Homo-oligomer: A and B are copies of this chain.
Amino acid sequence: MTTCCKTKCLEEAQAYIQELKTLKPCLYDKDFLRTWDKSYDDIRTVLLVAQILEDLYCANVSCRIFESGIAASVFRDNSTRTRFSFSFAASLLGLKISDLDEEKSQIAHGETVRETANMISFMTEVIGIRDDKWIGQGHKYMVEVAEAVAEGSKEGVLPQKPCLVNLQCDEDHPTQAMADLLHLVKHFGGMDKLKGKKVAMTWAYSPSYGKPLSVPQGIIALLPRLGMDVVLAHPKGYELLPEIIEAGKKHAADNGGSLTVCNSMDEAFKDADVVYPKSWAPLEIMQERVRLPSREGPEQKKLEERALAMNAEHKEWECTEEKMKLTKDGKALYMHCLPADITGVSCKEGEVAASVFERYRIDTYKEAGHKPYIIASMIITSKFKDPAAVMEHLIKEKKPRVIPL
Using a CB–CB cutoff of 8 Å, the interface residues on chain A facing chain B are 57-58, 62-70, 72, 75, 78-81, 83-85, 87-88, 90-98, 100, 104-107, 109-112, 115-116, 118-120, 122-125, 152, 155-159, 208, 338-339, 341-342, 345-347, 361-362, 365-366, 368-369, 371-372, 383-386, 389-390, 393, 399-403, 405
Contacts and interface: CB of A to CB of B under 8 A. Distances in A.
Contacts of A97: 96, 98
Contacts of A93: 68
Given A67-B94, A78-B104, 11 more contacts: A57-B159, A91-B98, A92-B123, A96-B96, A110-B347, A111-B338, A112-B346, A118-B368, A119-B338, A122-B369, A155-B365
A279 to B, nearest CB: 11
A9 to B, nearest CB: 10
What is the count of identical protomers in the complex? Answer: 3
Given A64-B67, A88-B70, A402-B66, A120 B80 contact: yes
A75 B90 CA distance: 22
Contact of A208 (B64, B109, B122, B401): B109
Given A65-B402, A156-B366, A405-B389, A100 B87 contact: no
Nearest to A116: B80
A70 B96 CA distance: 11
A366 B123 CA distance: 13
